[in-house]
Amino acid sequence: MSDFINGFWGYYVAFVVLAGIAWCLWLIFSQRKWLKPQSGKVEDTGHVWDGDLREMNNPVPRWWTMMYIMMCVFGLGYLVLYPGLGAFQGRLAYTSAQEVKQDQAEEEASVKPIYARFAKMDIPQIAADPEAHLIGERLFMNNCAQCHGSDAKGSTSFPNLVEGDSIYGRQPEVLTATITKGRNGVMPALGAAIDAGTAGDIAQYVRSLSGLAHDQIRIVRGKGEYMNACAACHGAEGKGNKALGAPNLTDDVWLYGSSEATIVNGILNGRNNRMPAQEQTLTPEQIRMVAAWVWGLSKGVDVTSATVAGAPAK
């Protein structure tokens, strides 16, 4: 593809554009009949159909010709002012990206007064405000529901925001940071270090941590392997690590599913789950609205640690 972005292609495009306009002008002026006074006599082409339907060689109307000349002049003027001649940006240096930024700035300025009264409120206060609730819900529907669902209950690989479980926590500042900068949850693939049988034993042990059906014999082997391969991130008790984004394996909340096959697949092949950053899409004020709305879904309760976000653990 680099062959198509070097300097030659800019000159090539400019040549094609200018040659096309020049050809149109040449074609018009080569047919000079429109410049001559009309004598009233029209040339007969000699073509006759149905006995009396005769084709005449009437000159093109002058208004039609002048219209095309003006279009060519307009085209040349446009190419001087705006991009169109290859790499030449035009005298006005216009870009569509610049126009989008200008439109966004105007839109932000127009809605800024709406968010002004929420500027001094904290997230719980915003969540309790009926108007802010409607704003946050609408922003969520437009920007987040595609992944998390219109009911915010998520689906496979997309977190449920209603139940209160959170890998990184439910504190207002954490939710704001997550929406602003996004998240990239990565579990390394261990297939090069352990085999499928060992991964199955670990899966049985992990299932036992959250009270799911498990094989009593296999969990003995699985616990040892878990301590060697998994405890560094998920903890010796399997309660996870919010600083690392390592999930709690004891709360019976599963992003991909809790079957042995699903867990084994995650162990052997790893996981790479990404939430895109919204800071280029939403303003800081809008991000606070969304964070407040999400926080309000569970009132900050994090079932992972059974605490209220922002409050000390009991």
**What is the model's pLDDT at position 4?**
58
Kindly list the domain boundaries of the chain, sorted by start residue.
2-81, 121-182+276-308, 186-272
**Per 3-state DSSP, what percentage of the chain is helix, strand, and coil (rounded to 5)?**
50, 10, 40
**What is the model's pLDDT at position 107?**
84
**What is the model's pLDDT at position 60?**
75
**What is the model's pLDDT at position 269?**
97
Which residue from 201, 229, 226, 228 is spatially nearest to 216, judged by alpha carbons?
Answer: 201
Q: Using CA atoms, how far apart are residues 276 and 293, in angstroms rounded to an integer?
A: 18
**What is the model's pLDDT at position 163?**
83
**What is the model's pLDDT at position 314?**
29
- Residue 252 vs residues 83, 136, 235: alpha-carbon distances, Å: 58, 29, 16
Q: Pull the structure tokens for residue 91.
A: 């005298």
Cα maximum dimension of the chain? 110
**What is the model's pLDDT at position 112?**
87
Cβ-based neighbours of 78, under 8 Å, separated by 6 or more: 84
Query: What residue ranges of the chain have pLDDT lower than 50?
Result: 1, 306-314
Q: Pull the structure tokens for residue 300.
A: 């900050």
Domain made up of 186-272: CATH architecture: Orthogonal Bundle (1.10)
Residue 117 pairs with which residues in a beta bridge? Answer: none
Shared fold status for 121-182+276-308 and 186-272: yes
Pick the CATH number of 121-182+276-308 from 2.40.37.10, 3.40.390.10, 3.20.20.20, 1.10.760.10: 1.10.760.10
pTM, two decimal places: 0.68
Packed helices 284-298 and 130-143: angle between N→C axes, nearest 10 degrees: 100
**What is the model's pLDDT at position 220?**
95
**What is the model's pLDDT at position 61?**
79
Cβ-based neighbours of 218, under 8 Å, separated by 6 or more: 200, 201, 204, 205
